[in-house]
Amino acid sequence: MKTSINFKPWADRVVVERIDHKGQEEGIHIPDTAMDRPLRARVKAFGEDVKDLNLEDVVVHEKFAGTELIIDSKPYLIMRKQDIFGTTELKDEGV
């Protein structure tokens, strides 16, 4: 299990930090017309059953995936690995 936060997920769970989809982070901008598309988040921790992710990977997940939780006063999502579609590079793709 790997973590960059004060939380250790079990099994196939992944903790992610949302990338602000209402504005910009590191050059990415998702307009309001794209809000129903899958969302991006940065991996902060994952359980021992997750083999193909790294900390700080940017992943694409379904809009309603995961459960919100607060760790050290910051909002995160915890979800199963199967709720993640894949990884992507964080850059302006003209979405």
Residue 31 buriedness (CB in 10 A; 0-12 / 13-18 / 19+): exposed
Digit-coded pLDDT (tens) for 31-51: 655 556 668 999 999 999 999
Write out pLDDT tens, residues 60-84: 998 889 999 999 999 999 999 999 9
pTM: 0.77
In 10 A of CB 67, how many CB atoms?
9
